[in-house]
């Protein structure tokens, strides 16, 4: 079907006469949500063979349920526990455009990084909504908050994100305080004001009330274990009610052991990973990690459930260098021969 821009004319008999006909430019083969009162349809444009395509295209409508898209969405925990590793990317650029692009690339989840990128709460919220909308719910936004502070946890969760990653959790005392800030009463003491959460939901009928009573149950809290102390206290941290899994920070973990880099063969480091994975398996809680640049196959065989593969800045840099390496010299040499 040709990718042709066409004008779709929509008649709505329930509006005043002068406003009954609405026009919008869309692409052939695309779908358009059209709402009239309580009824909704998706109009799919197809070539109009009766006119030999001279007059453009006609719309074929089918009814849709307001909850069709939402009911198809899998939660992070459901996906991670299927034992098919989830693949993700960092988001550090402070623009929703980066979220939209990567959300449509095929990643299972995106980590909006407020810890090592100076993203504001507003920017992170916009990136959450953009990820959901651009991927139509197939890519899950998770925010890594910059600290254990109540304001960061509250802002991140109130965005409607699928969950939060909390850096540098070292013991159960810290974990208990995080859970208190992340969960609503009676399990915690999270303040109620999820005004932005409906806009991270594909269902147009989504409300704050439904978020409180239903959606929040699938929101994940994932502490980062990235220190020797954290590994020592991993059982207590991971057993804390409200903790849904962990994310291993290999660079800081190795640094706390006196080792450099994101991966290595040191016995102390590998034993720590084995311990965390064993606890995760026993508790049926997923364990994630930054993908090793040197030994990814080992991590896969060890049994990690989800990975951060790369990031937006790294992807841009590598793509630019690849293009220059592939065609830069050719272009310059051709100019010299002309």
| Active centre residues (catalytic) | 116
| Torsion angle in degrees (nearest 10) through CA of 34, 40, 42, 43 | -50
Residue 221, beta-bridge partner list: 164
CA gap 89, 92 in Å, rounded: 10
Give the separation between CA 257 and CA 249, rounded to whole angstroms.
13
Strand 140-144 to strand 57-63: parallel, antiparallel, or no bridges (unpaired)? unpaired
What does the alpha-carbon distance between residue 205 and residue 41 come to, in Å, rounded to a whole number? 15
Closest CA to 222 of 282, 287, 281, 304: 287
First to last CA, the chain: 41
Q: For residue 31, give every residue at least 6 positions away whose Cβ sits within 8 Å of its Cβ, in sequence order, or none.
A: 42, 43, 44
By the 10 Å C-beta count (0-12 exposed, 13-18 middle, 19+ buried), 80 is classed as: buried
CA distance 147 to 142: 15
């Amino acid at each position: 079907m040709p990718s042709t821009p066409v004008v779709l004319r929509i008649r709505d008999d329930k509006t005043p006469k002068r406003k009954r006909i609405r026009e919008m430019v869309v692409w052939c083969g695309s779908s358009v949500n059209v709402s009239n009162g309580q009824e909704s349809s998706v109009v799919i444009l197809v070539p109009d063979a009766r006119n030999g395509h001279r007059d453009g295209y006609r719309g074929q409508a089918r009814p849709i349920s307001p909850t069709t898209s939402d009911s198809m969405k899998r939660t992070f925990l459901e996906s991670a526990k299927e034992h098919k590793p989830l693949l993700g990317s960092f988001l550090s650029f402070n623009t929703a455009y980066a979220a939209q692009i990567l959300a449509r690339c095929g990643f299972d989840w995106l980590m909006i990084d407020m810890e090592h990128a100076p993203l504001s709460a507003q920017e992170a919220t916009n990136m959450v909504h953009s990820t959901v909308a651009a991927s139509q719910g197939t890519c899950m936004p998770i925010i890594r908050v910059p600290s254990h502070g109540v304001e960061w946890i509250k802002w991140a969760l109130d965005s409607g994100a699928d969950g939060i990653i909390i850096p540098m959790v070292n013991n159960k005392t810290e974990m208990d305080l995080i859970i208190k800030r992340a969960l609503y009463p009676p399990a915690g003491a999270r303040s109620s004001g999820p005004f932005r959460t409906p806009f991270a939901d594909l269902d147009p009928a989504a409300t704050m009330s439904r978020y409180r009573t239903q959606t929040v149950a699938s929101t994940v809290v994932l502490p980062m274990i990235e220190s020797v102390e954290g590994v020592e206290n991993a059982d207590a941290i991971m057993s804390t009610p409200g903790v849904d899994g962990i994310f291993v920070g290999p660079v800081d973990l190795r640094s706390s052991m006196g080792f450099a880099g994101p991966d290595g063969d040191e016995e102390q480091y590998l034993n720590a990973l084995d311990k965390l994975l064993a606890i995760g398996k026993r508790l049926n809680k997923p364990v994630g990690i930054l993908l090793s640049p040197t030994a990814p196959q080992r991590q896969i065989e060890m049994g990690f459930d989800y990975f951060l593969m790369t990031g937006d800045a790294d992807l841009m840099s590598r793509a630019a260098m690849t293009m220059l390496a592939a065609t830069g010299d050719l272009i310059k040499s051709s100019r010299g021969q002309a």
